[in-house]
Structure 1
Amino acid sequence: MKKIYTSYIDNFRGLSREIWLLSLVTFINRAGAMVIPFLSLYLVNAKNFTLPEVGIIMTCFGAGSLLGTWIGGRLTDAVGFYKVILFSLLFGGIGFVLLQILETFYEFCIGIFLLILVADAGRPAIFVAAETYSKPENITRSITLIRLAINLGFSIGPLIGGLIIAHINYTSLFWIDGLTCVIAGISVFLLLKPKRPKDADEQIIIVKEGIPPYLNKYFLLFFIIMIANSMIFVQYFSVMPLYYEKAHFLSEDLIGWLLFINGATIVLFEMPLIAWLDRKGISKTMATFWGIFFLGLSFVVLNLTDFTGVLIVGMLLMTIGEMVGFPFSNALALKMAPKGRKGSYMGLYSMSFSIAHLAGHNGGMNLVNTFGYSKTWLIFSIFLIVICMLTIWLYFLLKKSGAKEI
C-alpha cells in the first residue's frame, strides 16, 4: 500500500508552486459548481419548462460560452491571463447569485447567456496559465492536475448539491455557487501573482510568430473533431440527469452520487494513468481517439439492459474516455499552437466546447423528445464511430506533415 501511495505521489512531483495554487483556486471554484449539473432538472421540475424550452435555454448557455471563450482568448493575448481569470471568477460569482431571481423563459435565456459569457471567458486563460507556469515536459501533467482539481470539486459539488436539493431546495445552490466563485477570485488575487513584466515583454516580442488558428487546416480538422465529441459529452450534463430521473426513477441525491463516481474516479486514477501513458509515449492524437471511443461505448451499454446498475458501467466508461481524451487533446492543442498565439489557439479550442453546448443540449433534448432515450443513444453511438474515423485520419495527416509528438 505504501508503494502504491508513493507511486501516486511521484506523479505530482516537479510541478511548479503556481500550478498548485492555480489548481487550488480551480478546486474552490468547481466545488461550488452545483447549479450546472442540475440545471436541466431545475428548469423542468422547479420552473415547469418543456424539454424543447430547456433545449433553447441550453442553446443560450452554449451561445454565451461561445462568445465568452472567444472574448476570453482575445483578452488573454491582449491583457494577460491573470486579469481575465480574476474578472471571470468575481463577476461570474455575482451572476450565479442573481440567477435565482429569474422566472420567465425569456429571462432565463438572457440570464444564462450573460452568466456563461462571463464565466467561460476565463477558460482559455486557465490553459495559457497552465503552460506559462509549467516546464515544457510538464505541460500535460500540469493540465491533468488542474483537471484533477476541477473533477475533485465537481465530484464533491454535485454530491452536496444533490443532498441540498433533496433536503432543502434548489435556490440554495445559487448562493453557494456564486459565493465560491467570489472566494476563488479573491484567492487568485491573494495567492497567484502574475508573471513579471520581463515575461510579458517576451510574449510581445514573439506575438507575430506562426499563423492564426483559423488558417491552420490541421487545427481546424481537430477543432471539428472536438466539437463533435463534445456535443455528445455534454449530454451527461443535461439529457443524462433527466434520463436517470425519468427512465430509472433516481432521486437528485442518487444522481449526485452517480456524478460523484465520475469525479472520484478521475481524482484517483487520472494522474497515474496520464503519467503512465506519457512514459509510454502515446500519441496525443490517438489518445484523443481512445477518449472518443470509450465515450461511445458508454452509450452503447445503456441499450443492453434495463438494469439500473448499467448506469454505473456507462458512467465509468465515459470517465475512462474523459481521463484519456481530454488531457491529451488539451496538450495537442497547445502543441499545435505557435508561440505568441497560445491564447488565440486555446480560445478556439475552448470554443469547440462552447459550440457543443450551443448545439448539443438542444439537439439531445429534441432527439429524446422525438425518438426516446434508446434510439437517441444509438444515434450518438453511430455518430461517434464517424468521429473516431476522422480522428485516425487527423493522426495520419499530422504524421505525414512531419509534426512531432502528435
Structure 2
Amino acid sequence: MIRLRSAAESTFGGLPGAFWWLWIGTLVNRIGGFVLPFFAFYVTGPLHRSAALAGAVAALFGAGAAVSGVVGGVLADRIGRKPTLVGSQLANAVTIVVLGYARSPWALALGALMVGLATNAFRPAQNAMIADMVPVGDRVRAYALNFWAINLGFSFSMAAVGLVTQFGYRTLFYADAATTTLCALLIAVLVPDSTPVATVRARASSSAKRDGDGHSRDGLGTVLRDRTFVAFVATTFLLLIVFMQINAALPMAMSASGLSAAQFGRISAINGVLIVLLQMPVTRLLKRYREGRVLAGAGLVIGAGFGLLAFGQSIEMYVLCVVVMTLGEIGNTPTGQAVSARLSQDHLRGRYQGVYQLAWTLSQVVAPLVGGVVISAYGGTPLWIGCFAVTALTALAFLRIGKQVERRVAVARSAEVEQTRQAQSSAQIADGQQPEFATA
C-alpha cells in the first residue's frame, strides 16, 4: 500500500493545478477526436470517392498542419499561449463542422486544408505552456502525462466511434467539434495565461530590435540559427520517418502477408493500450538517465521493433514488432518534447516548439512515400533492415546532441549564478557594505 501511494505521488504529485486543467482539456479534446482517424474511410466509404482523392485530401491536411504548427508557435510568443490555445481550438471546431458538409472533391480538399491549418496551431502553444508552468526537473513527467492523456482519449474515441456513427456519420463531426469547443472553454476559464514576462517585454520592445528592412532580428531566424536545436529537429525527423512506418509500410506488409483489415486494427490497437498501461511506470524508470541516452536508446528500440520483421512476417512477429516499437515511443516522445523546451529561450519557446512540430508533420508526409517506394522496388526485408540502420545513426546523433545540451545548460546555470552574485554585490555596495564574496 505504501509503495502504491509512493508511486502515485511520484507520478501525479507536485505539479501545478493549472497543468491539470490543461491535462483535462487535452483528455476531453482527444475523447472526441473522431474525424481525422476515420476520414479516409469516410471519403472512400459513405462518400464513395476514390482512394486517390482520399490520399490527396490527407496530404493537404498534412500540409496545413505543417504550416499551422509554425504559425501557432509564432502566435504563442506574439499574442500569448492562452489566446493561441483558445483561438486555435475554436477555429478547429468551426472547420470540422464545415468539413462535415463537404461533398465535392474541391470542397473536401479545401475543408481538409482548413482543418489542418487550424488543428496543429494548438500543439506548440500547449507544449510551451507546459514548459512555462512546470519546473525543469518535472517536465519529462508532465509531457509524459500529456502524452498519456492523448492516448487515453484516443483509445476511448476509437471504442466509441461505432456507437456515434449509429446516429449518422455527420454526428462524428459535431461530436468532435463539441469536445474541441469544451476544451477551449476549459482553458479559457480555468487555465491562466503562462506567457513569461520575458516574452511580453520582448514583444513590447520588438520595434527596437528591427533591422534596416524593418524585420525583427529575434524571431524564427534565431531558432533556425541554433545549430544544436536544428540538429536535434533533423535527427528527430529521421527517427520519425522510421516510426511513422507503423501507419505507412506496416499495413502494406500486413496486407501482402494476407492479414485482414480487422487484424491490422487489432494489432495496431496494442500500441495505444500499451501506452496507457506503461507510459507513466516507464517514465519513472527512465528519469534516472540523461535525456540524450534516453533518446538514443528509445530510437534503437523503435528500430529494433521494425527490424524484427526481417526475420519473419507472421502475425506473431507483427504483434512483437508493435510491442517493441511502442516501448521505444514511450521513451522518445515526452523526452523529445522536454529537450525542445530545455533548448529554447523563454520568449521564443513557442517558436521552438513550432519548429519541433515540423519534424512530426513532415514525417507523416515523407514516411508513406519512403515506405511505399522501398517496398515496391525491393520488398519488405530491405526496408526493415534500413529502419534499424537509420535508428542506429540517430542514436549516435542523439548521444552527441545530449552532450551539447548538457554543456549549454551548465553554461546557462553558471551565467545565472554570476548574475545573482553581481546583483548581490551591487546591493551590498549600495548599502555601504563590503561584498561577502569579494576577493583580496
What is the TM-score with the length of structure 1 in the denominator?
Answer: 0.85
Which residue in 1 is equivalent to 2:231? Answer: 221
Cα distance between partner residues in 2 of 1:371 and 1:103:
38
Sequence identity of aligned pairs in percent? 21
For the 8 Å contact 1:61–1:358, the answer to whether it is kept is no
Q: Provide closer, same or farther for how the CA distance between residues 144 and 163 of structure 1 changes in structure 2, counting only shifts above 3 A.
A: same
**Cα 1:402–1:349 shift into 2, 3 Å:** closer
**Aligned partners of 2:259, 2:391: CA distance in 1, in Å?**
28
Look up the SS of the partner of 1:249 in the other structure: coil
Tell me how far 1:379 sits from its aligned partner.
3.9
Structure 2 counterpart of 1:337: 344
Q: Residues 256 and 26 from structure 1, CA distance in 2 versus in 1: closer, same or farther, beyond 3 angstroms?
A: farther
Task: Note closer, same or farther for the CA distance 1:103–1:362 as it changes in structure 2 (3 Å cut).
Answer: farther
CA distance in 2 between counterparts of 1:358 and 1:327 reads: 22
Number of the residue aligned with 2:152: 152
Distance in 2 of aligned mates of 1:177 and 1:405: 46
Matches within 5 A, 1:6-405: 6-43=6-43, 47-50=48-51, 54-161=54-161, 172-195=171-194, 201-205=197-201, 212-238=222-248, 240-241=250-251, 247-252=257-262, 255-278=264-287, 280=288, 282-368=289-375, 373-398=380-405, 401=407, 403-404=409-410
Between 1:359-368 and 1:286-295, the stretch displaced more is 359-368
For residues 398 and 24 of structure 1, do their structure 2 counterparts lie closer, same or farther at Cα, with a shift above 3 Å needed?
closer
- CA apart distance, 1:386: 2.9
> How far does residue 16 in structure 1 lie from its aligned partner after superposition?
0.8
Change (3 A) 1:338 1:190: closer
Unaligned runs of 5+ in 1: none
Deviates more, 1:367-376 or 1:320-329: 367-376
Count of residues paired in the alignment: 397
Alpha carbons of 1:3 and 1:397: their partners in 2 closer, same or farther (altered >3 Å)? closer
Alpha-carbon distance in 1 for matches of 2:403, 2:196: 36
Question: Distance between the aligned counterparts of 1:177 and 1:138, measured in 2?
Answer: 31
RMSD over aligned CA atoms reads 3.2
Aligned-residue offset at 1:59: 2.8
TM-score (norm 2): 0.79
Whole-Å Cα distance in 2 between the matches of residues 297 and 173 of structure 1? 37
User: What secondary structure, in the 3-state scheme, does the structure 2 residue paired with 1:174 have?
Assistant: helix
Q: Are the counterparts in 2 of residues 59 and 359 from structure 1 also a CA contact under 8 Å?
A: no
- State which structure, 1 or 2, has the greater radius of gyration over its C-alpha atoms: 2
Question: 1:215 and 1:323 mapped to 2: Cα distance?
Answer: 30
**Partner secondary structure for residue 259 of structure 2:** coil
What is the alpha-carbon distance in structure 2 between the residues aligned to residue 58 and residue 239 of structure 1? 16
Deviations 1:260-311 (A, max 9, x none): 4322322232223222322x2x121221112221221221223433332333
Deviation at 1:15, TM superposition (A): 0.6
For residues 220 and 42 of structure 1, do their structure 2 counterparts lie closer, same or farther at Cα, with a shift above 3 Å needed?
Answer: same
- In structure 2, how many angstroms separate the alpha carbons of the residues matched to 1:35 and 1:319? 24
Seen in structure 2, the aligned counterparts of structure 1 residues 93 and 335 have a Cα distance that, compared at 3 Å, is same
